[in-house]
Amino acid sequence: MSATEASTHLRENPFALAREQLRRVGEAFGVDPDLIGVLSKCKKSVEVSVPVAMDDGRVEVFEGYRVVHNVTRGPAKGGIRYHPGLTHDEVKALAMWMTWKCALMGLPFGGAKGGVVCSPKSLSHSELERLTRRYTTEIINEIGPEKDIPAPDVGTDAQVMAWIFDTYSMNVGHSVLGVVTGKPLAVGGSVGRDGATARGVLYCIRTALQKEGRRFPDTRVAIQGFGTVGRNLARLLAEEGARVVALSDSNGAVINQYGIDVPAAIVHKAEHGTLEALPGTDEASNEELVELECDVLVPAALEQVITADNAPRLKAHMICEAANGPTTPGADEILEDRGILVLPDVLANAGGVVVSYFEWVQGLQEYFWKEYEVNAKLNDIVVRAFEETWSARDRFSTTMRNAAYGIAVQRVAEATTIRGLYP
């Protein structure tokens, strides 16, 4: 894989963007510059070599990472991403964003992230398992239920988490349910975890619409990305009566301004592996979807989808970030000037880590909740965080992103100050 192929979705250095966001928030909210200096660095970063025996007898060596940004408020928490374009700085940025996300939601976690530079779709089931088990073995001293708890991210799923759980447990000699979240129900997963990120996005959109005196049946939504989050969100929105007018995957977009049949789209994707040629839709590019006229645009794929280049052409009334880092700071300024409301990633897509927290708690207690309890607790936490962010936005006359980051950074800074420096 060439360096060009490996970085196609990243137009700017994501860690530099994350640090710039932190610097701006520090200035806006009067956070001590020394604390901002501490928080702008990652606590620990591990790079590992992951040799894997391939099905054809070759041994291929992959690059893997695990980064911990901060553990001031509790053990680190963050997903594991398998993607061919993954970079070290991307993992560091994602770890930092996880710190703010957990703090904003009031969870007793710091931020971490990890991943392997690979194309999971091109690996066989057995190759994926060997890759996961070797990667887990390489980072086994870095993770643990009271140290750093991984979860699924782009390119990984419940099965990958089950392999991590099993590999770790076999090494320590007993089952450790709390070492990883996003597991299958059969091995200590939580009901409601699979659709938790999408459900959190739904709650944010619903609350924002209520602020404007609107409701779902009057709303046209375009979703960029049809992975676990995009697919579940489309289903939930359709159930609420919203009109899903556009969907996309890595092959392109499909559009119907009168509304796409979401259950049919899910079946079509499962049968054909793509949304292309979905009956009753017109084909378009991912770039055209982002610029489509709609009430709510939901970027639910990778970073840096909305940039200073395309932000002037966006026709959405509201943007809800189901992906991490889909909007660059340059685009943020343009969208703010244009009066487009942006619900930031650390608020909008935090449903996944909230229910991961629930799963971690259930695993430690070995006592499991009912799905209605999980969804009700998730709604309470997300809506409370939304209201706190909305209030800070009004109080400081700033954007939702700055308000959300401001609340989170202040919470981590306070905990850092209270704990002090050791030694």
Report residue 21 as tokens.
């966001």
Phi/psi of residue 9, nearest 5 degrees: -90, -5
**So what's the pLDDT on residue 325?**
86
**So what's the pLDDT on residue 250?**
87
**pLDDT-derived band of residue 1, with 50, 70 and 90 as boundaries?**
very low
| Active-site annotation holder among 77, 92, 101, 113 | 113
**Amino acid in position 346:** V
* Structure-token match 């409301």, residue found: 341
Cα 315 from Cα 291, distance rounded (Å):
6
**pLDDT-derived band of residue 6, with 50, 70 and 90 as boundaries?**
very low
Burial class (CB in 10 A: 0-12, 13-18, 19+), 5: exposed
Q: At what angle do helices 14-29 and 400-419 cross, to 10 degrees?
A: 80
**pLDDT-derived band of residue 218, with 50, 70 and 90 as boundaries?**
confident
Summarised one tens digit per residue, pLDDT across range 18-43 is: 999 899 899 999 999 999 999 999 99
Of 138, 146, 183, 140, nearest to 163 (Cα)?
Answer: 183
**So what's the pLDDT on residue 11?**
75
Long-range contacts of 159-167 (CB under 8 A, 24+ apart): 159/184, 160/80, 160/82, 160/128, 160/132, 161/189, 162/187, 163/129, 163/132, 163/133, 163/136, 164/80, 164/132, 164/136, 167/132, 167/133, 167/136, 167/137, 167/140
**So what's the pLDDT on residue 4?**
36
Summarised one tens digit per residue, pLDDT across range 157-200 is: 999 999 999 999 999 999 999 999 999 999 999 999 989 999 99
113 noted as active-site residue: yes
Report the C-alpha dihedral over residues 293, 298, 303, 307, rounded to 10 degrees. Answer: 30
* Structure-token match 């782009």, residue found: 154
Could you tell me what percent of the chain has a pLDDT over 70?
98
Q: What is the mean pLDDT of residues 233-261?
A: 95
Cα 142 from Cα 164, distance rounded (Å):
13
**So what's the pLDDT on residue 2?**
36
Query: Residue 60 pairs with which residues in a beta bridge?
Result: 52
Cα 388 from Cα 404, distance rounded (Å):
8
**So what's the pLDDT on residue 8?**
52
Mean pLDDT of the chain: 94
Please tell me whether the overall predicted TM-score, pTM, comes out greater than 0.85 for this model: yes
The answer to whether residues 349 and 200 touch, using CB atoms and an 8 Å cutoff, is: yes
- Domains, the chain, in order of start with CATH, read 3-20+39-184 (3.40.50.10860), 196-348 (3.40.50.720)
Residue 301 has pLDDT above 90, yes or no: no
**So what's the pLDDT on residue 3?**
37
**pLDDT-derived band of residue 303, with 50, 70 and 90 as boundaries?**
confident
**pLDDT-derived band of residue 260, with 50, 70 and 90 as boundaries?**
very high
Q: What is the mean pLDDT of residues 325-336?
A: 92
**So what's the pLDDT on residue 9?**
64
Residue 375 has pLDDT above 80, yes or no: yes
Phi/psi of residue 127, nearest 5 degrees: -65, -40
**What is the per-residue DSSP string for 314-363?**
--EEEEE--SSS-B-HHHHHHHHHTT-EEE-HHHHTTHHHHHHHHHHHHH
The answer to whether residues 292 and 268 touch, using CB atoms and an 8 Å cutoff, is: no
Q: What is the mean pLDDT of residues 380-403?
A: 96
